[in-house]
Amino acid sequence: MEQKAFTVRLDTDQATDLEAVAAADGVSVAEEIRRAVADRIEARRQDPAFQKRIRSIIEQNQRVLERLAE
């Protein structure tokens, strides 16, 4: 799987808490972040209001693309 790197800035308290959570789970901070992101994405997939908004954005983008292709 291809990967993309990101830089995340956290305040000191969040960073310390994240390090503690990762240590308690026996994983790296990067793995703990990947898990959190995966959980967030899955939660959004299950949210009907979010799904409605994302479909609206897709439809708007499709209209723009069709207009530009003319």
pLDDT digits (tens, 9 = 90+) for 13-61: 999 999 999 999 999 999 999 999 999 999 999 999 999 999 999 999 9
Report residue 1's pLDDT band, with 50, 70 and 90 as the boundaries. confident
What's the pLDDT at 54?
96
What's the pLDDT at 69?
95
The CA dihedral of 61, 64, 66, 67, to the nearest 10 degrees, is 170
Count of residues in the chain: 70
Amino acid, res. 56: S
Question: pTM of this prediction?
Answer: 0.78
Write the CB contacts of 16 (distance below 8 Å, at least 6 apart in sequence): none
Please report, for the chain, the start and end positions of each structural domain, with discontinuous segments joined by +: 12-69
What's the pLDDT at 62?
97
